[in-house]
Amino acid sequence: MKRLLALLMMLLFIIPTAHATPIPLDDMSQLPETNDEGFLPEGSDPVYYKDFESGYWFYLDSTLRLEITRTQTSKPLITYYLADIYLASGSSMYTVTYNPERPGRTQGLPQTMARNNNVVYAQSGDFYSYRVSHDNYPGNIVRDGKVIYNKSYSKLLERVPNLATIGFFPSGKAEVNEAWEMSAKEYVDRGATTVMAFGPILIRDGEMADLSSDAYSHKEPRSCFGIVEPNHFVGLLVEGRKDHSDGATLATCAQLLSDMGCWDAINLDGGNTAAMLFMGESVQMNNSGGVDENERAIPDILCAGTY
C-alpha cells in the first residue's frame, strides 16, 4: 500500500496539469454569459473566435478577455492591428523565453514559442539580444523577476531605440520610464517581473510625446504597447514594406494608442521583428492575402493568457 501511495504521489508531480480545451465559436452570438468583470466564471471552458479573412480574433476565459481587430485604409495606405487586452485581478503580462537557461543567448521564432507554451496572445518585444551581440547598451532588462542586463543610457536620445522601458508588475500595474529613470535593479526591488527596453516613449501621463524628429518620422512596420489602466493594455502592430501597407510613423502609432484610451505607451522593436500572434498563429497578412508567418528569431515574446 505504501509503495502504491508513493507511486501515485510521484505521478502527480510527473503528469502535467491539464489545461481546459478552448471551445471555438461559430459566431459571436454564441458568447456565454460573463461575470461582472467581463470574464467567464471560474471553471468555465475558454471560448474563442477567429476570422482571418475579416480580421477579427476573440478569446475569453476566467482571467483574460482579448479582442484583436484589423483595420485597413487606402489613404494613407496602412494595415494595422489593435489588441484590446483585459486581465483579471491578480493576472499580469509575462514573457516566454526561448531558452530560459540562457536568456538572450539563443533565439527562436515567435510562433514556436507561443505554440509550445499554449500562449493566447503574443507580441514581439525589445529584441535586446541583437544589441548584446552588436556590443551596444542592452538597456534595463528584467525577465521572470531577475535582472538580465542593467546598462543603459544616462540621458534622453532622439533615436530608435533610446532604451526607454516598460515594466510589468504581478498586480497588473505597468509603467513607462526613460532609460535613466529606473534601473533594472530598482524595478526588481519594487517587484517588477518583466522590464523591456526599447523606446521611445509615445505617451506618458496622458500626454503624447513630441515625435517630430526625423528619427521617428519614417513609415515602418511597428510594434507598440500601451497602458490604459492596471490590467487593461493595448497592443499595436502596423504592417509595412508590403503592397497593402506602407507602415507608420511613431506619431501615427501614438495617436492610434491614444484613441484607444492609453495613458502611457512605448515603441517596441518593429521592422522585421514586429509580430502579433493569436493562439500561436500570426495575424499578419502577406502580399497575397494569406497568413504572413514571422521569419525572424527573437529571444522571447510578450504574452497574455495561457490555454
Give residue limits of the domains in the chain: 21-306
Tens digit of each residue's pLDDT (9 = 90 or more) over 130-175: 999 999 999 999 999 999 999 999 999 999 999 999 999 999 999 9
| Residue 41: all three cell numbers together | 466564471
What gap in Å lies between CA 306 and CA 20, rounded to an integer? 10
Separation of CA 41 from chain center:
25
Q: How far apart are CA 297 and CA 276, in angstroms?
A: 14
Asked whether 31 and 25 are in contact (CB, 8 A), the reply is yes
In 3D, which of 50, 44, 56 has the Cα closest to residue 26? 50
Question: In this predicted model, what pLDDT tens digit does every residue of 105-120 receive, in sequence order?
Answer: 889 999 999 999 999 9
What is the structure's pLDDT at 157? 96
Where is 82: in which H helix or E strand?
strand 77-87
Diameter of the chain by CA atoms? 75
Pairing of strands 47-51, 23-24: parallel
Task: Read off the pLDDT of residues 48-80 as tens digits, 9 standing for 90 and up.
Answer: 999 999 999 999 999 999 999 999 999 999 999
pLDDT surpasses 90 at 285:
yes
Q: Looking at the predicted structure, is the pLDDT value of residue 183 above 90?
A: yes
How confident is the model over 21-31, as a mean pLDDT?
95
DSSP annotation of 30: G
What would the grid cell of residue 197 be? 527596453
Give the pLDDT of residue 15. 37
Give percent above pLDDT 70 in the chain.
Answer: 94
Whole-model pTM: value is 0.93
CA neighbor of 150 nearest in space, from 183, 198, 189, 197: 183
pLDDT > 60? residue 2 = no
